[in-house]
Amino acid sequence: MKIAIVGGVAGGASAAARARRLSENAEIILFERGNVPSFANCGLPYYIGGEITERNKLLVAPKELLEKRFRLDVRTLQSVEKINREKKTIQVKNLADGTVYEESYDKLILSPGASPFKPPIPGVDHPGVFTLRDLKDADMIHQMVQEPDGNAVVIGAGFIGLEMAENLVRRGWNTVVIELADQILPPWDKEMVEPVSQHLKEKGVQLILSDSAVAIEKTENGLSIKLKSGEVIDARFVIMSVGVRPENSLAVDSGLDVGARGGIQVNTNMQTKDPDIYAVGDAVEVVDFVTGHPTQIPLAGPANRQGRIAANHIFGKDSHFRGIQGTAIVSVFDMTAAMTGQSEKALVQKQLPYEKIYTHPANHAGYFPGAEGMSIKLMFAPDTGKVLGAEIIGRSGVDKRIDVIAVAIQAGMTVEDLEEMELAYAPQYGSAKDPVNMAGFVAAGVLRGDHAIVHSNELHNEDFVEHFLLDVRTPSEFEAGHIKGSVNIPVDELRDRLDEIPCDQKIVAYCKVGLRGYIAERILIQSGFDVVNLSGGFTTYQHIHGT
Amino acid sequence: MKIAIVGGVAGGASAAARARRLSENAEIILFERGNVPSFANCGLPYYIGGEITERNKLLVAPKELLEKRFRLDVRTLQSVEKINREKKTIQVKNLADGTVYEESYDKLILSPGASPFKPPIPGVDHPGVFTLRDLKDADMIHQMVQEPDGNAVVIGAGFIGLEMAENLVRRGWNTVVIELADQILPPWDKEMVEPVSQHLKEKGVQLILSDSAVAIEKTENGLSIKLKSGEVIDARFVIMSVGVRPENSLAVDSGLDVGARGGIQVNTNMQTKDPDIYAVGDAVEVVDFVTGHPTQIPLAGPANRQGRIAANHIFGKDSHFRGIQGTAIVSVFDMTAAMTGQSEKALVQKQLPYEKIYTHPANHAGYFPGAEGMSIKLMFAPDTGKVLGAEIIGRSGVDKRIDVIAVAIQAGMTVEDLEEMELAYAPQYGSAKDPVNMAGFVAAGVLRGDHAIVHSNELHNEDFVEHFLLDVRTPSEFEAGHIKGSVNIPVDELRDRLDEIPCDQKIVAYCKVGLRGYIAERILIQSGFDVVNLSGGFTTYQHIHGT
């Protein structure tokens, strides 16, 4: 068995190591276009920023290790240019000397990854405009950032853009982030990332939203970036991080199928329509585990598992990729933003039915020092209560809760299952009613019809303008800021002041996070009022409407 | 509807609040024997140790709040002494003035909790011998610990014992912990808590295992504790934390059923055999979710949910308790120990079939600064691969992984599901192959027969004495310590040195944590050798056999 693997990072390296564990006799050749295989691409921004000080640490599985431990034939600086499916050969170009040669294969695994997209604007190919894909890119930027000098401009506020912004600030650069969308992390729901935007600004990042670069010009001491709005920004250099595109040319050229967004199409064994060619990692189209729709999400974890699955299948082991949930996390200075499953935006776009709730719990028991807040948004099926997705932002403990919900989605659990979860509780780690349980309580209450809610994004719709807005927080909370037109009756006084509430009007109750509002709702409903609670309270309201 | 609730902490308070949310009209009386309801009992050791500085913080839901917000009739310092089931009345003693009165109920909820066990040894009732159950106890101990003066002795190395030990050290006391078992945290598997014992000693705790107090005598300046071994320990005071017993006297006296360990028996609605009497919290017998056996585990999370379920059922809402997994966590100085589901010990005792694996991953990507190790033990069904239990010890990230596995157990997932989990990865939070994925890979490999393992506790059995012990680590690792009789051939040299390995002998390969050992096994098996890998490698071996 002769296996040729195109691409030596994540998926390719995993496939190679797995193949070797399954067969000592196979000939396994790993072609890597760059100068090192299997490097830690998720660590590159932190190497640039100086948090990772040793470049060596980025070499997860150095060439020598792959050769010795897994007896792989690792060929760096070699680019696979063509596939001859009939002859089962590939044409390889040695980038070091320009020579071209042919190599045969029994099985071919494509793991070419995805390449950073460079928008076709004038000046985008200037040497001061970087993208960040591999160690070579990282080395160049690393050298550039050593001495802060004017502006560093990041175009695109996705994961890499935000991580780069943080690391440029760490290096002392005056950092400007330009994003086409009206929010950072465009695939996320806007209200959830609002506090992260705020945090970026507090840390000194200049955030320009709803704008884009239309031209980049060379100046005496760097670059000048012209924006669509007319604004012009000087920059010493630019990091272009506006997304990636699957590297599909090899697949397309050899007649393999690709999907609407360019991802190489494979079955659950990671096999293309040519049974001798597999494809894995960021270049393939995958099935969304929640919706069943085709999708394209570059993630390291799934890439690794896909590599394993391809190798398993080559050696006759039945092994299937179950699809992708889109579990992702990003650290932004002192904050963490994480999601799994569908965003509300994605559900709307796919016209799938959903309900949502917001909560703002603390990461652990409030009585133990160091408790920090987080915000959770949970999407679920309005009929079955099946969990469809979640977004969480906060500080400590965000990663734990998103993982717990990710497993719930994998298991097909409902919001009622979240209520019942028995999670580890001691005051340093959580609460007897963990944030995930609490989100479950709220969502299940809504699902069962015990808890009628309204959302902040609907509150100023025509349907609600006639509502009586009841703020049930304390007078001091009310004074510090409230929804315009609301009347303050603290929940603890509510039973004694029912006569102040109109009985011929629908009522929207709200508090800070939704808990007291819910208690108020229960009191009022049982006293004959027609009332709904504002999900996520004034906190979510502020994330949507500002302060 | 008139609801009487006996016990105002966790389960009782939750039941009361839930009942009020479901009914504005119900009369709800909360009887609490202590002077405050709903306090944070899990915080008491940290208040004593000074980590929680404000005593007020421990009052989770003060009497006034319960009265105002939930219109509860909160009666502190009142002890329910008798139940007349026929008349549906209770006899209440006012502990403040000694008066006794009767109160009727439509529904009665018992949430009496569990009381610390005091072994019947001479001197156990000396005023210098404390137990820690409520704020009154905490106040007394808090006063006692202010000025370190000689020895503080903790009897019992369970959760409360260890938390108290840490907090006494924090206060500057010379702290001695005495435990009857030959390990701390007796229900856990011994090899897993070994590093925690080590850590306790490093932090200055004197740990006396396999010994017990047989008498406590008063001395001039404190107490003298005589141990079974003959040793005598001086102490300024003693914390007795040798476990708790369900407070079942009220239930027993009124003819309700209790289980073998004294827990009040209830159905899944938390109803006793008297349909008008419910019981919740630490006093009830519950079903073990994994084994289906009756059990008794005092945990705050389930107590809260049980309170909710009882209230739901009273108001006609179908609501069931699904049983308890025993998810628990404890912080011990800088370490964390957590478990969920069955320990190996419990599986052996119940004679249930299982397989186990050990791994020792890092909490996050090794290339990112601050990675810390953890040790995972995973128990699963040898036929189906269903996850039965896990124990994890380490530092950061232990709580996350135990919660992920707890949800897997709740969902009835297998070790193959752990392989497939899509958890949030960025280098600060985890690895592309998360520790839970890795444990899944190893366990699923064992399950599928791809990965033959042996365990350190079997290694010196008769079956294995004739084996060839192959250490595949580097020479420097080997020199720093190895299993007696083993031969060192580093995995990366293995293919070239196969002639040094006997082909007529069974081989046990091992490395530091089990990963290189597995690779060696794959190489050797395919070269015709008969080989097994030592699960968890030399690290687990040391936890079991010492260094």
Q: Nearest by CB to B329, which of A40, A304, A426?
A: A426
Last residue of a domain, one of B222, B242, B262: B242
In the structure encoding, which two tokens stand for residue B232, read together?
């005598």
Q: What is the distance between the alpha carbons of residues B57 and B59, in angstroms, rounded to a whole number?
A: 5
Say what the pLDDT of residue A81 is.
97
Q: How far is A197 from chain B (nearest CA, A)?
A: 19
Please name the amino acid found at residue A77. L
pLDDT confidence band for B327 (50 / 70 / 90): very high
| Same-domain status, A473 and A492 | yes
Decide if B307 contacts A433 (C-beta within 8 A). no
CA distances from A172 to A151, A161, A178, A240, B292 (A): 10, 16, 18, 19, 59
Please count the structural domains in chain B. 4
For A407, the closest of B22, B404, B522 (CB atoms) is: B404
> CA geometry: angle at B501 spanning B497 and B505, to 5°?
165
A30 three-class SS = strand
Give the span between the Cα atoms of A164 and A239, in whole angstroms.
Answer: 8
Residues of B in contact with A414 (CB under 8 A): none
b/e A244-282 (16+ beta carbons within 10 angstroms → b): bbbbbebbeebebebbeebbbbbeebbbbebeebbbbbb
Give me B522's structure tokens: 């794959």
Chain A contact set for B25 (CB, 8 A): 526
In this structure, are B108 and B253 located in the same domain? yes
> Is residue B542's pLDDT more than 80?
yes
> In a 3-state reduction of DSSP, which class is residue B208?
strand
- Best of B407, B451, B515 to disrupt the A interface (most A CBs within 10 Å) is B407
Determine, yes or no, domain membership for B59. yes
Using the 3D structure, point to which of A226, A242, A258 is the last residue of a domain: A242
Q: Please list every residue in chain B whose beta carbon sits closer than 8 Å to the beta carbon of residue A325.
A: 422
Instruction: Enumerate the residues of chain B whose CB falls inside 8 A of the CB of residue A10.
Output: 432
Query: From the first residue on, what is the mean pLDDT of each consecutive set of 10 residues in chain A (547 residues)?
Result: 95 96 97 92 96 94 94 97 98 97 98 95 96 96 95 98 98 98 97 98 98 96 96 97 96 97 97 98 96 93 96 96 97 98 97 98 95 98 98 98 98 98 97 96 96 94 88 98 96 97 95 98 96 98 90
Read off the pLDDT band of B463 (50, 70, 90): confident
CA distances from B443 to B390, B410, B440, B455, B511 (A): 12, 18, 5, 13, 17
Nearest CA in chain B to A64: B492
Q: What is the pLDDT of residue B244?
A: 95
For residue A313, the model assigns a pLDDT of 98
Residue A380 domain flag: yes
CA closest to B18 among chain A residues: A519
Task: Quote the CA–CA distance of A328 and B165 in Å, as a whole number.
Answer: 39
**Nearest C-alpha in A relative to B54:** A367
Report the C-alpha gap between B374 and B360 in whole angstroms. 5
Residues A249 and A229 in one domain: no
Phi, psi of B120 (to 5 degrees): -80, 70
A40–B330: do the CB atoms touch at under 8 Å? no
State mean pLDDT over B107-131.
96
CB contact under 8 A, B432 and A522: no
Of A174, A192, A129, A181, the C-alpha closest to A157 is A181
Same domain as B171, residue B233: yes
Residue B392 lies in a domain: yes
To the nearest whole percent, how much of chain B has pLDDT over 90? 96
Please tell me whether residues B50 and B75 are part of one structural domain.
yes
Do B279 and B250 lie in one domain? The reply is yes
* Neighbouring residues of A436: CB distance < 8 A, sequence distance ≥ 6: A401, A404, A405, A418, A421, A423
The residue count of chain B comes to: 547
pLDDT of residue B448: 95
β partners of residue B244 = B116
Examine the residue annotation and report whether A42 is marked as an active-site residue of this protein: yes
Closest partner CB to A427 (pick from B43, B328, B366)? B43
Residue B460 banded pLDDT, cuts 50, 70, 90: confident
What average pLDDT does this structure show over B537-543? 97
Cβ <8 Å between A522 and B411: no
> A367 vs chain B: nearest CA distance in angstroms?
5
Mean pLDDT of B503-507: 94
Please identify, among A189, A222, A242, the residue that sits at the C-terminal boundary of a domain. Answer: A242
Task: Mark whether A152 and A183 lie in a shared domain.
Answer: yes
Of B407, B423, B522, the CB nearest to A301: B423
Distance CA A480, CA A424 (A): 36
Q: Is the Cβ pair B523, A24 closer than 8 Å?
A: yes
- How many CB atoms within 10 Å of residue B371? 17
Among B338, B317, B326, B356, residue whose Cα is nearest residue B514? B356
Which of B1, B22, B42, B140 is labelled catalytic? B42
Min CA distance, A243 vs chain B (Å)?
Answer: 17
Judgement on whether residues B537 and B469 belong to the same structural domain of the protein: yes
* Distance from C-alpha of A189 to C-alpha of A197, rounded to nearest angstrom: 13
Would strands B468-471 and B507-510 be described as parallel, antiparallel, or unpaired? parallel
Strands B100-104 and A206-208, sheet pairing: unpaired
Across the interface, whether the CB atoms of B24 and A57 are under 8 A apart is answered: no
Token reading at A499: 């006569």
Does A238 share its domain with A250? no
User: Could B46 and A492 be called an inter-chain contact, meaning their C-beta atoms sit closer than 8 Å?
Assistant: no
Q: Which of A2, A23, A27, A42 is catalytic?
A: A42
Q: Is the ipTM of this complex over 0.85?
A: yes
Cα dist from A233 to A182, A185, B212, whole Å: 19, 22, 75
Rg (chain B; Cα; Å) = 26
Rounded Cα gap, residues B272 and B265, in angstroms: 6
Q: How far is C-alpha B512 from the chain's CA centre?
A: 27
| Residue of A309, A315, A422, A442 to mutate, interface with B, max B Cβ within 10 Å | A422
Nearest CB partner across the interface for A522, out of B21, B303, B429: B21
**B11-38 pLDDT tens trace:** 999 999 999 999 999 999 999 999 898 8
Predicted confidence at residue A139, as pLDDT, reads 97
Q: What is the CATH number of the domain that holds A184?
A: 3.50.50.60
Q: Which residues of A touch B424 (CB under 8 A)?
A: 327-329, 338, 340, 399, 402-403, 406
A328 lies in a domain?
no
The pLDDT of residue B133 is 94
Whether residues A425 and B329 touch (CB distance < 8 A) is answered with: yes
Domain assignment present for A437:
no
Q: What is the DSSP string of B231-275?
A: -EEEESEEEE-S-EEE--HHHHHTT--B-TTSPBP--TTSB-SST
Our CA-based measurement puts residue B365 at a distance from the nearest CA of chain A, in whole angstroms, of 9
| Residue B547: pLDDT over 80 | no
Of A187, A158, A536, A479, the closest CA to residue A357 belongs to A536
Q: How many helices (H) and strands (E) would you count in chain A?
A: 15, 30
**Based on C-alpha coordinates, what's the Rg of chain A?**
26
B58-72 pLDDT per residue, tens: 998 899 999 999 999
Helix (H, G, I), strand (E, B) or coil at A469: strand
Contact (CB<8Å) A42/B426: yes
Is the CB of A427 less than 8 angstroms away from the CB of B40? yes
Query: Which pLDDT score, from 0 to 100, does residue A259 have?
Result: 96
Query: Where do the DSSP E strands lie in A150-257?
Result: 151-155, 174-178, 206-208, 213-219, 222-227, 232-235, 237-240, 244-246
Do residue B10 and residue A427 have CB atoms under 8 angstroms apart?
no
The whole model's pTM is what? 0.97
In three state form, how does the secondary structure of B494-533 look?
HHHHHHHCCCCCCEEEECCCCHHHHHHHHHHHHCCCCEEE
Please indicate, yes or no, if residue A58 is contained in any of the structural domains: yes
Residue B348, in any domain of the structure? yes
Q: CA of A24, closest CA in chain B: separation in Å?
A: 6
Whether B402 and B502 map to the same domain: the answer is no
Contact B492 A302 (CB under 8 A): no
- How near does any CA of chain B get to the CA of A123, in Å? 32
Angstrom distance (rounded) from CA B206 to CA A397 = 33
Closest CA to B404 of B327, B337, B346: B327
Closest-CA residue to B163 (of B381, B347, B335)? B335
Residue A184 carries which side chain, given as an amino acid letter?
Answer: I
Contacts of A417 in chain B (CB under 8 A): 410-411
User: What does the pLDDT average to over B104-133?
Assistant: 96
Do B220 and B255 lie in one domain? The reply is: no
Q: d(Cα A420, Cα A436) in Å, to the nearest integer? A: 10
A116, β-bridge pairs: A244
- Are residues A160 and A107 both part of a single domain? no
Do B491 and A302 make contact, defined as CB atoms within 8 angstroms?
A: no
3-state secondary structure of A275: coil
**Domain, as residue range, for A94:** 2-112+245-314
Q: How far is A222 from chain B (nearest CA, A)?
A: 32
Tell me what pLDDT residue A466 has: 86
Q: Is residue B285 part of a domain?
A: yes
Q: Phi then psi for A135, rounded to 5 degrees?
A: -60, -35
Give the model's pLDDT for residue A96: 95
Q: Which pLDDT score is estimated for A333?
A: 98
